[in-house]
Structures are given as structure tokens and as C-alpha cells.
Chains A and B, each alone.
Chain A
Amino acid sequence: MSIEYAPTICPYCSCGCGIYLVVEDGKIIGQEPWKEHPINEGANCPKGKNAYAFLYSKDRLKNPLIKKNGTFRKASWDEALGLIVSKLKEATPETFGTLGSGKTSNEESYLLQKFVRVVMGTNTIEYVGRLCHSSAVAALLPAVGSGVMQTSQPEIELADCIFLAGVNIMETFPMIARRIFRAKAKGAKVIYSDPRKTATARYLADIHLPLKAGTDVALVNAMMSIILAEGLEDKEFITSRTADFEQVRDFLCQVDLKQAEAITGVSLEKIREAAITFAKAERSCILYDQGICQHTVGADNVKVHADLALLTGNIGKPGTGVNSMRGQISGEGTGDMGCLAVFYPGFKRVGEEAAKFFEDAWGVSNLPTKPGLTYIDMLYKCSHLYIVGTDPMMAVPDVNNLRKALKKANFIVVQDIFLTEIGKLAHVVLPAATWVEREGTHTYVDRRVQKIEKVIEPPGEAKPDWWIVCQLAERMGYKDKFNFSSAGEIFEEIRRCVPQYKGITYERLKRTPGGIHWPCPSENHPGTPTMFLEKFNTADGLGHFQVVGFKPPDEIPEDEYPYVLTTGRSIFHYHTGTMTLRTPKLVDEVSHGFVEVNPEDATKVGVKNKDMVTLETRRGSIEAEVKVTDQVPPGLLFIPFHFPDSCANVLTNPALDPSCKCAETKVCAVKMEVKK
């Protein structure tokens, strides 16, 4: 009998918590707390406690599949790769699009974008960061020069005030909520803006601002206007470290607070209390995520929060900042590796200069210099799609329309661990190894690079994503540029091309529980937990204020669609449900989709708990089970987006934020009727 405790990192959100997998003769038989890990110290959330069950789900993909007359048949790797190569040779840089994954390793994401750029000659490679984080990048690049999380997770405990901008953190990042409770125990105050009275509102927040969905700009402008009126701005910080303050000051002086109260639905008294609490704290820290990002004004929402941090000097020191909560294990890393239509690896903006740099680095010529198509555009416009470890048929708004478009595509390859909703539409499906079935690094929310060791063999014929990409490249005639025999060799190339990762080595990661924060410029550099200590990453090194006025959501309720619909997550499930819906303990908690309805609205419509209703928007309709709760105010409905049987994104609005192409999945107008 051989039993080993193998340390690894949880495969769910981006906190990057440690766990021990208990491995007996090549099979995982249990998991145990890893108490030395600095992020979670042995504790885990419900998902983290059920980290590995999905690996052994009976319906794991074990062989390549080729669709013939509408049904899949098993195929050999040779046959499947041969077919893909013949189809890829038909594609042009304009017709070929690729989606990477926030769940693959940095090495795999890096290799995938290299394939797309070198072999296919296009920058049309994206990942789901476009649908949740692009607003942050669009807002923060001009503001501070980078869209990343600015402080480290442990440093959040140093804050005296934590502003949760639309993050239901007790359910979505419980191990960060734990740090906020620690800060509270030392006297910190928690402000929380969210239309819903979630567990976070009830048990963590001191000041809950239940704003109307999509009115964050009005709320934060009002807060800043109050701070200025009270003279609570950080004058020294504004003078020494920022620019463009005057425009913002002039604009904020004009803000009509009564109007802000009417727009947001939050009493002026509460807005004032939040503003003063935030401004008076020694260290205030803003944490935000999709709650403010997934709007047609997502970038504007992030801009005003950045303004608030700059105005009060709460940025560029530990335990402060405007911090984006990334949803996926390598949500940060996949962006770092350049799986974005506008960035080469290391956030080198697509253009002549970046192309030249990578032509030299990779020993190739004619790399694409024009931005590729963004996520949703690509899905509608490309005839040849390569989709790796992501399910747009669950994640993209207006999926009925997307299905119609994808049915017209000439050729779709899906590389994943299960036959997902998008997989069902594919022509070829490739079985991938995942998580502890291969080695590699991920970059977690606070730029924390951690190493995953291979613990078990992948099932059947499943192969690591990097192996698959190398095979495709070889068959496309690029063997010399993709001549890798391990993830470690790919990581060495990343270190040469991506300056932020230069000082990070596998050897260092192995002996550093909790990993290393990039930027890490050299092998003796400890890594960088806090960004912008000395200056910002902007051209002049200053933080830039940006004036933003309130704009209403794209779609607002009216007679036919009288309710506002918003979407989000449950603590027991993860994103598109691919993994958690195959985890029996989590399915026992919540097995299917539901819609939260205020008791008043339930009475109006004539439904009670567990009744089925039909929800309809201009784009489509779904059925969902009613959950009557005062967690939502009258007029607002909430659906978690994890469940294919009540797919929230059939309903959501594909309207985009023009500045970043992030869709407005957080607000649309909906009708609710008793299911006929």
C-alpha cells in the first residue's frame, strides 16, 4: 500500500488555496487540509472541499471524437488531428478564431496564442477575460497603467475600510471574505454596493448600499462629491501622484446629490455615511468584479472607483487599491500570456513593435500587427473556430442567437474535459488532461504564480493541452517552433519573453508555498505583493483621474418586460457548471437553476416557492424554479448562470461596452409568468 499526500492548489476560483490530495496507487482517494499554505491555512470553501470529484466523473472525454451525420464517433488522435489540419489549411487569418481558457496552465495558454499568431497568422485569440475583466483593463490602463489586482490577498487584512463594489464575496471568494472578517475584528468597516441583500450584505457589510442595478457611476460620483465637499480628499497625494484632478473636481462640484439618490435608489444619508467612512479610513481597499464590470458602462464603473481611490490616496500602498477579483485559477495568467486580440504576451500591445519583438524571440517572420476580433465578434464572424476549455454556449449573452450563428460555422474544434454545450456543436472534440493530470503554472488573482504538479494520469487517451497544440503545430509544418517535450521547457521560453515572469523558476515555486507575485524581474527578487508603491505604470508615472457621467443600462424595464434581471453565482457552483455539476456533494446542495423573486412580486404573479415560471426577454425564454426571498428587492429577479437547464444567458443582453466589448450580462428587462 502506498499512500501519499500530494500538495496542490484548488481548481476553482482564483484565490489559489492549497489542498493535499491523498493518492493511493495512482488514484486520488481523499483530500486533506494543507495548513502551511499561506492563502487558506488549511481551510477551504465548499467547492474547495470537493475539489477532485469531477476528475472521476464517468462522462470524462477519453477519446477524440469526430462528428459524422450529426453523431460523434470515437477516433484516433492521428485521424482527428489529420482532419483538423486539413480544415485549418482552408482557413485564413480573417476566418480563424480561437478561444483560450482561464483554466489551462500559463504554459498552455502561452503555447496556444503562439500557435494562433505564428501558424495561423492572426491575433484573433481571446478568452473569457473579455467578458468579465476587459472593462477593468480599459478603465485602469489610462488611470494607473495596469488592470491587475494591486494588493495581495493577505494585505487586505491591513485595510481599515473595505469597499466591496458588487462582489458577493462570502459566496464568490469565501477565503477573501475570511480576511475581511479578520480586518473587521480589528475595527475595519465594510461597505458593500449590490442590489441584492446577499449573505455578504447581511453578515459582512456594515454599510450596504442596495443600489438599482447599473447605477454605480451615479453612486460613486455622489460619494466623491461628498468627500470633496467635506474636504476629505488626500490633497498631498493628489498633488504628488496624480494628474487631471481639476476636470474631475469641476465635474463633481456639479453633481446633484438629490438626483443621485433618485437614480441609485440609495438614501443620501447612506451614501454620505459610506463616503465619509471610506475617506476617513487610514487604508481603504476597493474589491470589485463582474458586478460592476459586466455592463455597457463597465469601464466607466471601474473608472469612478479608480477616481475614488486616487481622490483619497488609497492606492499604491499595501491593503489599498482598486482590485479586480478574477474568477478563474489562471484568469490573470491567460491574459498575461497574451490570449487577447489586442495583447501579445506580457501585455505588449498588438502592433509593429510587439510583432517585431516576438518575431525575434520566436525566430519567425510576418507576425500579425493588427488587433484580432474580440470574443463575441469572433464567434459570429469566424468560419473556423478552435475552442479550448471554455463554454461560450453558457457564458455568452443571447446564446440562442449564438447557436444559430455557430450552426453555420464551417468547422469547430472543441478541446475540453467534458462534452460541454459548445462541444455538442463541434465537428471534432479533443479530450484534454486537466489540473493535476499535467504539470504547469497558474497565475491567481493577486498575480500569484503557483505550480501544479502532475499527480495522476489523465483518463483514456486524454492529453495535456500543450501536447495537443504541439502536435497540431508539427502537422502544420512548424515543428521547430513548437519543439517542446515538457511544460517546463515552455515555461523557460515564457521567462525569456515575458519580463514580469523572468525571475520565477519551477525550482523556486516548488519550495515557496503560496508562490511568487509577478512582477519578479530576477531570480533573487522576492516578487511584488503590492503594485505602484513608487509610481504608476502610466507614461508619466502619475495616476490619472477620468471624468465619467452616469448613463443608464442599455435595456430598462417597460410594460412588456417589467422586471430587471441580474445574474451571478452561488457558493456551491462554479461558472458554467462543467465541473461542479459533476460533483455529487455540490449537486446535493443545489441541483438545478432557480430565480430569486421578492415576496411582493411572487404575490403579484401568483407563485410560491418551488413553482416553475417562464422568464422571457426580447431574446428568448427559459423556465426556472421560483425561490421567494427578500434577498432581491421588488422589481429585481436574480438567476445564477451555472445551470444549463435554466440557462441565464438565453435571456441576457448582448449589448457591449463600446470601449472594451464586455457585454451587459448584469442588467436586462424581463417578463415573468407562471409556467403554462
Chain B
Amino acid sequence: MKGDVYIASSTDKEVLEKAECGGVVTSLLKFALESKRADAVLAVKARDGNRYDGTPVLISQPDKVIETAGTLHCTSPNIARYVKEYTDGASDLKIAVVVKPCDAKAIIELAKRTQVKMDNLILIGLNCTGTLPSVKAKKMMKEVFGIDPTDVVAEDIDDDRLVITLADGTQKEKTLMELEEQEYGRRENCRRCETNIPTMADIACGKWGTSDKGTTFVEACTEKGANFIDAAISAGCISIRQPNPEAVQLRRKKDDAAIQSAKQWQERDFSSLKQMSSDERFEYWFGQFERCIKCYGCRDACPICYCKDCNLEADRGLVPPGEVPPDIMFPMVRITHVMDSCVNCGQCQDVCAMELPLSRLIFMLNRDLYDIFKYEPGVDIGQLPPLRTVTEQELSLSGVDVAF
């Protein structure tokens, strides 16, 4: 039932060999297809075996699922966008989707906007303490770790350390702090992210709370997830045992530590912006937006942006067409339309041609809005975003101070 936790591992020998941490996710995906609970599986695969280049793959044959086994840290494909754009929001396809917390949150936000048919999805979540930008990660492997990036066979982030495993079995590690001070390490949004265990997904899987390498800590986060796990256990796809209280506590402790670290990053990234006077803020942000070349990269990458006939399109008349940088309405509208529901996935900043600190700004505003509306994006499908639910009365409140 919902809330149940297990220490689990795959029963499939082939999966156990290839996958990390007991191969539970791979086996659950195989089971989803074999049991016809899903028509397809959406997961990430290293393209041509390249760990720095993961692409989403939609798989319908159970024996192909193994190609997605193993964890990739140096890639950040846009899973929610894939579901929205390329499967028509799972309108007539049942899909088991492997999600990081931000992917799960974005999918839930899309569902609130009726862009995704949640009944057709089962979200299999992965614990996540961050991903690394691939080009910088390769540079980091060379310059900081002194290794050929193609020699890496595994990365792991645990206890604030990045551990690299090479083909010959040797391991190298550095603290995240050390790397991130040199502008390497995790993507900027990931450093600020407080959601490490995807409890908003149907199932949350991760190694926190396990003591040996060959197992995964699994939590059934919804009834749908619990039913799915029960069926997988009955079918003999995974074997389970109950975690002892120490394991549960260890998992919580690791989560808490990661949350603390994220809060520190938020403080560090936001405080300098918030300390500015309002004139300084205008100067700083308008200075940033002056570099905008109107590529629409941020809008298109935003997993929760969905309007087919976007107000910002050149033919809509809101923003004068053909100008670079575009009128200030362009970034303003972009930001105000999504800031109440930003899930801090960082996709906008990843693709910004001019490297504007978009995710930093939008997530900062989102946290301010949280303080006002207590709306936490991407968690509860029943809770609608403030822009949808705001009342006339609330709009006329004075003293609403959103930092911008």
C-alpha cells in the first residue's frame, strides 16, 4: 500500500549484471511492458554508449529495456517535454516513465494544465542530488580529475562528494564544494534543489538506506505505485525485504543533509540579488535581458509552458517582431507566466543562447511566491497554481512584495 518501503533487487541475472543498485528500475520497466501495464517505457539511454550524451528513448519491446540500465549523471534530457510534445501527453499510450524529481514535478504541473493524461502514466522516480552539464563535465574530468572522460564507467554523488569510477576499477573523488567553487560540478539549479527523493512520483527508487551495492530502497508513493510494486513482486520480477529502522533513518538523514546543502546554495545565489536596491535590480536584470537574442530557447525548453498559440509569438503583436534584443515584455511575460509553477528543472538556463541566469531568477521568484501562497509546484496534483486560483481580493492586497 501507499507508503510501503522495501529493500529490493532484481531477480533477472542479465539485469543484475548491467544495472546499478540491484536493477530494480530496469526490472520494473520490463515488468510494465511484459504485464501490458504499459504500452511503452520512456527512459534515458547513453547515445552510442556515450555517458555524456543521454537521449530519451521510447521502448515497447521488453528485451530492449536493458539498453537503458545504469545511471547517467552528465546529461539532462527534458523528459516532461518529451511526454508533452512527442507522445501527445500520453493521450492514448500507456507509458512507464523514469523520472528525476524535477521531471516528475513538471509532468504533474502539465497534468494540472490538462496537457498530460496522468491515468496513462506510471512515474518511476529516481533519487537525485543533481546532474552535471555534459560539456563542462568532460572538461572537469580532464582538468580536475586528470582523466580521459571516455574512461569513466560510473559517476556517483553521495555525502557531498562526486565519485568517479574508471574502466580499470579505480575510483577518484572530490567534494562537490571543491568542484563547484571552480564552476564545475552540478548544474546551477541542481545545487539549489531541495527535492532529492521523488515522492511525488508513483514509486521512488534510490540507494539511500541500503547498505550493500546490489539493492535499491523503494518507496510506494501512491496507490498506483503500490499496486504496481505488489504485482511486480507477485510476478517474481523483484525480490524484497523490509528495511530496518536504521536504514529508514539513514535515508532520511541523507535527504536532510542534501536539503540543507540546497538551502545554503539558495541563500548564496539569491541573497546578492535580493540585497540590491530596486534601482540596482532594474539595472542588473535589464542589463541581463539586453543580451537576449529572442531564440525562444527558454520558452521551448520550459516543460510546463504549453500554449499552442503563445502570446510571445512574433505574429501576436504583443512584442514588436524582428527586434534584438526584444522588447522587455518578452522576458517579463515569459517569467510571469511560469514563475508560480517553476519546478527548478534548469532547462531554460541550460539552453539560453546568452547564458542569462533565468533559472536563478524564476526559481527565486517562485520561492517568494511560495511564502505568499504556500503553493509548492509539482507535488500535489489536486493543488492548482496561484495564477489559476488567485482571487480579486488577493490581487488587491497591498504589501505583496515579490522580489524582482
Partner-B contacts on A (CB < 8 A) = 1, 3, 5, 7, 20, 22, 24, 29-30, 32-38, 40-46, 48-49, 170-171, 174-175, 177-178, 181-182, 199, 202-203, 510-511, 513, 570-572, 585, 588-590
Contact = CB atoms under 8 A, between A and B. Distances in A.
The 9 lowest CB-CB distance pairs between A and B, nearest first, are: A588-B314, A590-B322, A36-B53, A5-B55, A43-B353, A36-B134, A588-B315, A589-B322, A589-B314
Contacts of B351: 33, 35, 42-44
Contacts of B133: 35, 41
A85 B111 CA distance: 62
Interface in B59-108: 60, 75-78, 81, 85-86, 93
Contact of B295 (A32, A45, A511): A45
A40 B293 CA distance: 14
Nearest to A34: B53
Interface in B31-58: 40, 47-48, 50, 52-53, 55-56, 58
A589 B313 CA distance: 9
Nearest to A24: B86
Nearest to A570: B322
Most chain B CB neighbours (cut-off 10 Å) among A20, A40, A41: A41
Contacts of A513: 53
Contact of B350 (A42, A175, A182): A42
B95 to A, nearest CB: 11
Interface stretch (B203-211, B233-241, B296-304): B296-304
Contact of A49 (B53, B55, B300, B322): B300
Contacts of B119: none
B350 A33 contact: yes
B3 interface: no
B354 interface: yes
11 contacts: A3-B86, A24-B86, A30-B86, A33-B78, A35-B133, A36-B134, A36-B135, A43-B351, A510-B48, A588-B321, A590-B321
Given A199-B325, A203-B291, A589-B322, A181 B135 contact: no
B84 to A, nearest CB: 11
B350 A178 contact: no
B305 interface: no
B80 to A, nearest CB: 13
Contact of A35 (B93, B134, B300, B355): B134
B192 interface: no
Given A174-B353, A588-B313, A29 B86 contact: yes
A175 B290 contact: no
B354 A5 contact: no
Contacts of A24: 86
A390 B50 CA distance: 37
Contacts of A48: 295
B47 A5 contact: yes
Given A46-B293, A49-B295, A178 B353 contact: yes
A178 B291 CA distance: 9
B93 to A, nearest CB: 8
A35 B75 contact: yes
Interface residues of B, number: 43
A511 B48 contact: yes
B328 interface: no
Contacts of A46: 293-296
Contacts of B293: 45-46, 170-171, 174, 571
A171 B324 contact: yes
Interface of B is mostly: loop
Contacts of A572: 322
Nearest to A33: B351
Most chain B CB neighbours (cut-off 10 Å) among A37, A40, A43: A43
Contacts of B55: 5, 20
A5 to B, nearest CB: 4
Nearest to A37: B135
B118 interface: no
Contacts of A571: 293-294, 324
B24 interface: no
A513 B77 CA distance: 17
B352 interface: yes
B170 to A, nearest CB: 23
Contacts of B355: 43, 178, 181-182
Contacts of A49: 295-297, 300
A203 B354 CA distance: 12
Interface in B287-333: 290-291, 293-297, 300-301, 313-315, 321-322, 324-325
B350 to A, nearest CB: 5
A44 B298 CA distance: 11
Nearest to B74: A36
A35 B322 contact: no
Contacts of A589: 294, 314, 321-322
Nearest to B50: A36
B341 to A, nearest CB: 21
B221 to A, nearest CB: 28
Given A36-B53, A36-B75, A43 B297 contact: yes
A197 B177 CA distance: 43
A181 B324 CA distance: 16
A101 B78 CA distance: 36
B352 A585 contact: no
A32 B352 contact: no
B76 to A, nearest CB: 7
B353 A44 contact: yes
A311 to B, nearest CB: 32
Contacts of B77: 32
Nearest to A513: B53
A673 B75 CA distance: 57
Most chain B CB neighbours (cut-off 10 Å) among A24, A33, A42, A585: A42
B353 A45 contact: yes
A29 B86 CA distance: 8
Most chain A CB neighbours (cut-off 10 Å) among B47, B53, B134, B353: B353
Contacts of B314: 585, 588-589
Interface string B134-169: 110000000000000000000000000000000000
Nearest to B55: A5
A36 B353 contact: no
A584 B290 CA distance: 25
B290 A203 contact: yes
A344 B93 CA distance: 57
Contacts of B322: 570, 572, 589-590
Given A3-B58, A35-B76, A35-B135, A44 B53 contact: no
A379 to B, nearest CB: 32
B104 to A, nearest CB: 20
Nearest to B81: A32
A46 B314 CA distance: 12
Contacts of A33: 78, 297, 301, 350-351
Contacts of A22: 86
A375 B354 CA distance: 37
Contacts of A7: 47
B86 A38 contact: no
Contacts of B48: 510-511
Nearest to B291: A203
Contacts of A511: 48, 50
Given A7-B47, A33-B297, A510-B48, 6 more contacts: A5-B47, A37-B135, A42-B351, A44-B297, A44-B351, A49-B300
A30 B294 contact: no
Interface string B117-137: 000000000000000011100
